[in-house]
Amino acid sequence: MSEKYTEDTIRSLEWREHIRMRPGMYIGKLGDGASQDDGIYVLIKEIIDNSVDEYVMEYGKTIDITILDKKVTIRDYGRGIPLGKVNDCVSKINTGAKYDSKVFKKAVGLNGVGSKAVNALCSYFVTQSVRDSKTKIVEYNRGNLVNDYPEQESEEKDGTIVSFIPDNEIFGHYHFISEYVERLLWNYVFLNNGLTIKFNGERFHAKNGLRDLLERNINGNGPTLYPIIHINEGDLEFAFTHSTKQYGEEYYSFVNGQHTTHGGTHQAAFREAIVKTIREFYNKDFEAGDVRTSILAAISIKVQEPIFESQTKTKLGSQHIEQGGMTVRNYINDIVKRNLDNYLHKNPETADALYHKILQSQRERKELAGIKKLARESVKKASLHNKKLRDCKIHYNSNHEKRLDTTLFITEGDSASGSITKSRDVSTQSVFSLKGKPLNCYGLSKKIVYQNEEFNLLQAALNIDDGLDNLRYNNIVIATDADVDGMHIRLLLMTFFLQFYPDLVKAGHLYILQTPLFRVRDKKKTFYCYSEEEKKDSLKKFKGKPEITRFKGLGEISPDEFKHFIGASIRLDPVLLQRKSSIKEIMSFYMGKNTPERQTFIIDNLRVEEDVVEGAKVA
């Protein structure tokens, strides 16, 4: 029988209670820091956004940031929050200056929510404002005011200092990955010429906007077909080129300095404008895909009062936002068409290189057409959704609030896939089962994706044949045994993604699943340990001698145990590409012909099994 629905069942939550109960509404997914869109990075972004808005309004050219252990401190040299409103600005929803478009034009933070969300989701949160030789400090714990210090005289420069520690009650066993923070900071300086950010002693500064962004991110894509085309007019800036090696499309898009990782109206308009302009320039009705294949592009637009699809601002919404008296789509199309057409007329070498690149893409597409047709029939015959893939109910390309949690586990063998399948969350977690070791595809053409059954079925499950727009899972997790065979399978899969879908890796979708190496238990308590260090720490918590089990394969872990490792406490290692790393060099070293250098690397990095279990009672 259902519970009674009366006046007593109606509750009014305080602002901090609502944020802590529904954090996803404010910062997207939580996560542990393994993914670049995890909540702890959104906390950093929300505070930096306020500092960058000061710079945009021409107040303060430098932002200082430190992360020490788990404490984040962000200091700007802007105007400083008016001292009488410091408390209100970090603790009252819908309070702030961003509602006054005369004070903050084309700002990122528009809803007066960001700093309040950070406050509520942190176990330690301190804001200090320095303004006109006076300072004001307020301190909070999980949104609750701890100290409201009186105003004092100060000799410090004007500005705002915010320090916080994300709450482990909300974020669990989290950690900051410096590469993600640095990527975030570089984007800020690329989009704000002249801004300097100092992070843990490193200086971030750029002079040439999106040209610098592309040049920094272009490494690993192979040589470019022509010099970067860089246009900056009014409220729109864009830069692009084509790689000679990479498949797919790669975009970095921004609105008012916010990295719209999921694109939106402006990115769609830019992609459309590029194709339309090139068709008209060459007077050829090219296929859109032939024009855009292997494009590397960045676009930034400034919009007054933009409409995002969520508080995390990762996708620009409505197409009817006015920009310069026209829609965003028409505004972008007008600037792209006029400037790109002029550029191609003035630079015939670039125009010629681009034309031959499009013809080459056209030839490759036609050559693959027959193979792809057979591949689609193969997918149907293999009954993909019944045999290879145990699908979930929610997908990344949906509008569901849990879309960021959608995950595909790639496993090998029936026992491992069976354990994960039985213990997964059927709403957001899917399992793809490999049959044996996949092919080493290093140096092979994309034909192999459709001719090889495993690769054909995998790319069909991911729905990435035509790029990432229709990607079905946010997190693609390689789940293999912690042994030599498992490592080999892991490398073969990483080679597949880097060879044919590097944009998927660069966008932060590929991970390695960590599973425990040991189970340490007695009759009263059990600990799962992911390293020798964790095992040693757990042994200190027992009075007697516990039983220690060394897990050698995923199939040895029961479904009841597995649910702990792929649930809220899941541990993922992101596959990250260092800026200085060349994809070709990486794959050549690991997957190319055997060399003395690789043999030495393997020997130097071997773990001796006896060392791992020394002195343990192994079950």
CATH of the domain at 223: 3.30.230.10
d(C-alpha 203, C-alpha 138), whole Å = 29
Q: How many CB atoms lie within 10 A of CB 514?
A: 17
Look up residue 398 and give its DSSP letter. Answer: S
Domain membership flag for residue 542: no
Structure tokens at 526: 């059990």
d(C-alpha 181, C-alpha 184), whole Å = 5
- The pLDDT assigned to 285 comes to 95
pLDDT at 153 over 50: yes
Q: Which of 205, 227, 242 is the last residue of a domain?
A: 205
Q: Tens digits of per-residue pLDDT, 188-238?
A: 999 998 999 999 989 999 999 999 999 988 765 567 899 999 999 999 999
Q: How many domains does the chain have?
A: 3
Domain membership flag for residue 567: yes
- The pLDDT assigned to 222 comes to 62
Please check whether residues 197 and 214 belong to one and the same domain.
Answer: no
Domain membership flag for residue 40: yes
Instruction: Choose between 597 and 514: higher pLDDT.
Output: 514
- The pLDDT assigned to 100 comes to 46
Domain interval for residue 221: 209-366
d(C-alpha 32, C-alpha 226), whole Å = 40
Mean local confidence (pLDDT), 467-492:
87
Instruction: Choose between 378 and 352: higher pLDDT.
Output: 352
Please check whether residues 315 and 401 belong to one and the same domain.
Answer: no
Q: Tens digits of per-residue pLDDT, 303-323?
A: 877 776 655 566 776 555 565
Please check whether residues 428 and 331 belong to one and the same domain.
Answer: no
Mean local confidence (pLDDT), 264-292:
94
Look up residue 218 and give its DSSP letter. Answer: -
Please check whether residues 360 and 503 belong to one and the same domain.
Answer: no
Strands 547-550 and 144-148 come out as unpaired
Please check whether residues 216 and 89 belong to one and the same domain.
Answer: no
Please check whether residues 224 and 354 belong to one and the same domain.
Answer: yes
Which secondary-structure segment (H or E) carries 433? strand 429-434
Please check whether residues 140 and 251 belong to one and the same domain.
Answer: no
State the CATH number of the domain containing residue 163.
3.30.565.10
Domain membership flag for residue 605: no
Domain membership flag for residue 312: yes
Domain membership flag for residue 230: yes
Which secondary-structure segment (H or E) carries 409? strand 407-412
- The pLDDT assigned to 446 comes to 83
Q: Which of 205, 228, 255 is the last residue of a domain?
A: 205
Longest dimension (CA), the chain: 81
pLDDT at 151 over 60: yes
Please check whether residues 347 and 456 belong to one and the same domain.
Answer: no
Instruction: Choose between 258 and 605: higher pLDDT.
Output: 258
- The pLDDT assigned to 218 comes to 79
Which secondary-structure segment (H or E) carries 52? helix 39-56
Q: Which of 146, 174, 205 is the last residue of a domain?
A: 205
Instruction: Choose between 502 and 511: higher pLDDT.
Output: 511
Please check whether residues 171 and 245 belong to one and the same domain.
Answer: no
pTM of the model: 0.79
Domain membership flag for residue 36: yes
Helix segments in 304-393, DSSP class H: 328-346, 348-381
Domain membership flag for residue 404: yes
Q: Tens digits of per-residue pLDDT, 515-537?
A: 888 899 988 899 988 888 889 99
Instruction: Choose between 415 and 539: higher pLDDT.
Output: 539
pLDDT at 373 over 60: yes
Please check whether residues 197 and 215 belong to one and the same domain.
Answer: no
CA angle (361, 365, 368) in 5-degree steps: 140
Please check whether residues 60 and 167 belong to one and the same domain.
Answer: yes
Amino acid at 349: E
- The pLDDT assigned to 7 comes to 67
Q: How many CB atoms lie within 10 A of CB 588?
A: 15
Q: Which of left, alpha, beta for 49 (phi over 0: left; psi -120 to 50: alpha)?
A: alpha
Q: How many CB atoms lie within 10 A of CB 456?
A: 23
Please check whether residues 357 and 390 belong to one and the same domain.
Answer: no
- The pLDDT assigned to 104 comes to 41
Average pLDDT, the chain: 84
